[in-house]
Amino acid sequence: MFDVAVDLRRSSPYFGKWVGIELSAENKRQVWIPPGFAHGFVVTTQSADFLYKTTDYWFPEFERSLLWSDPALGIAWPITELPHLAPKDEAGRPLIEADTFA
């Protein structure tokens, strides 16, 4: 899979910048996404097992989505066709409209 984090901290010199990393059973990599970042991923194989560890309980009413294809972000997703999106991801907002952090 290809895992992406986007800096949503307005005070950061990296605000709006992204980093992507390939995660696989072969490379055995893990990634920590700190508070203040958006997180998304695309599965690049037929299937994948994906486990999250979080710093707090999940409250779906506070969940929000960043538009995965926002040209302002320019994320280089390693895909050749449009991905299948969850409804919450289909409703993602561009960075200019996104909830951000100080």
H/E stretch holding 4? strand 2-7
Q: What distances in angstroms separate CA 71 from CA 25, 35, 94, 102, one per listed residue?
A: 31, 23, 9, 23
The confidence score (pLDDT) of residue 31 equals 94
Contact between residue 69 and residue 12 where contact means Cβ atoms under 8 Å apart: no
Q: Domain 1-102 has what CATH class?
A: mainly beta
H/E stretch holding 19? strand 18-22
Write the pLDDT tens digit of every residue in 11-23. 999 999 999 999 9
The residue extents of the domains of the chain are 1-102
The confidence score (pLDDT) of residue 98 equals 95
The confidence score (pLDDT) of residue 54 equals 86
Write the pLDDT tens digit of every residue in 21-68. 999 999 999 999 999 999 999 999 999 998 888 888 989 898 899 999
The alpha-helical segments, DSSP class H, found in the chain are 87-90
49 alpha-carbon distance from chain centroid = 17
Write the pLDDT tens digit of every residue in 70-91. 999 999 999 999 999 999 999 9
